[in-house]
Structure 1
Amino acid sequence: MKVIHLMRHAKSSWQDSGLSDHDRELNERGCRDAPRMGRALGELLQPQPVQCSSAVRAQQTLEGLCQGWPAMALQQHAVDDALYTFDFQDLLTWIQSFQSDSDECFLLGHNPGLTDLCNQLVGRPALDNLPTAGYLQLDLPVSAWSDVTDGIATLTEWQFPRDLS
């Protein structure tokens, strides 16, 4: 059994029109939601390495996640340019080539790729839109990352900032 954890970056700012999409930072709400989600996920999951998009807003989300979940900050996280994508097929290809002995993979990235990946792996429209700072857990009945394919996953957990008290 493999488990994929998907998290969308927190709410980003569009205030500086001179910044490239890759360089956009979190806005006030994003800076607030990332640590809140860290606290919530810390009650749900064991700390683990995060595979993070190279976009500034994704890296800032990871920093906020670790602020709210100090045990997560002790993990060896990785920033990967290949995860700066909005296409589920790119994400699926990345997962299928993931080189790890771990049965879990935590991806922090972007929409619509994450929503589309969830729906593709579940094999039906399980989610309309993964909100900013939203989290999903998918369980996959495979023994190797290379065996991850369409329609085999079960969406077993989700946490969204709007649902936190």
Structure 2
Amino acid sequence: MKTLTLIRHAKSSWEHLGLPDIDRPLNPRGQRDAPRMGQRLKQAGVSFEAIIASPATRALETARMIAAQTSFPEEAIVIDRDIYAAPVGRLLTLAQRLDDALERIALVGHNPGFGQLASRLSPAFRYHLPTCGVVRLETDADSWRQVQPGSMRLIDFDYPKRAD
């Protein structure tokens, strides 16, 4: 069984308008939300064998905060440039190329690609993916290469403003 967790980066800052998009950090709300969502994942018994993040500052900050709360070593976070500004087709290909030795993987990145990927992989996901939203998908497939549109089950969808 394979579990893919898609995590949209937490709320980012627009304070420095001249800053390149890739360098935008989290704003104070994002800095509160990311550890909170990591704590919710931990309380739900979620753990990861890999966390793969976009190189964007806001995605890396989110990944590090989630990792800290879920006891995943920060130094083991993998940065994948293909996640940044990726269209849904590229994200699907990335998912299909994940290491088959790993069962529980988190990807940390951006909309619109992540929301589109979630709805493409699971017809049950028909929602907007807000900042720091977490979508957990599952398949009985033995290989990530078998992941196709509609082939995964939605097992959880959580986000910071969801009632506890």
TM-score, scaled relative to structure 2: 0.91
Confirm whether residue 128 of structure 1 aligns to residue 122 of structure 2: no
Confirm whether residue 89 of structure 1 aligns to residue 89 of structure 2: yes
* CA positional deviation for 1:111: 0.5
Aligned to 1:54: 55
Contact 1:7–1:136 (8 Å) recurs in 2: yes
Q: Distance in 2 between matches of 1:164 and 1:59?
A: 26
* CA positional deviation for 1:144: 0.6
Confirm whether residue 11 of structure 1 aligns to residue 8 of structure 2: no
Contact 1:52–1:107 (8 Å) recurs in 2: yes
After superposing on structure 2, the runs of 4+ consecutive aligned residues of structure 1 that deviate more than 3 Å are none
Contact 2:41–2:70 (8 Å) recurs in 1: no
Letter of the 1:141 partner, please give it.
D
CA deviation digits over 1:5-37, x for unaligned, max 9? 110000001111111111111011001101111
Q: Distance in 1 between matches of 2:51 and 2:116?
A: 20
Report the RMSD for the aligned CA atoms in angstroms: 1.7
CA deviation digits over 1:39-90, x for unaligned, max 9? 11111112432101100000111222234x1612367211111111341111
Contact 1:136–1:159 (8 Å) recurs in 2: yes
Q: Distance in 2 between matches of 1:86 and 1:8?
A: 13
Unaligned residue ranges in structure 2 (runs of 5+): none
Letter of the 1:126 partner, please give it.
F
Unaligned residue ranges in structure 1 (runs of 5+): none
CA deviation digits over 1:73-124, x for unaligned, max 9? 36721111111134111110111111240122210110011110011111x3
Contact 1:8–1:132 (8 Å) recurs in 2: yes
Q: Distance in 1 between matches of 2:20 and 2:118?
A: 27
Q: Distance in 2 between matches of 1:115 and 1:65?
A: 19
1:70/1:151 Cα in 2 relative to 1: closer, same or farther (>3 Å)? closer
CA deviation digits over 1:107-144, x for unaligned, max 9? 0110011110011111x362331111110110123111
Aligned to 2:138: 139
TM-score, scaled relative to structure 1: 0.91
Equivalent pairs: percent with the same residue?
Answer: 34
Q: Distance in 2 between matches of 1:20 and 1:125?
A: 35
* CA positional deviation for 1:146: 0.9
Contact 1:137–1:157 (8 Å) recurs in 2: yes
Which has the larger displacement, 132-141 or 43-52?
43-52
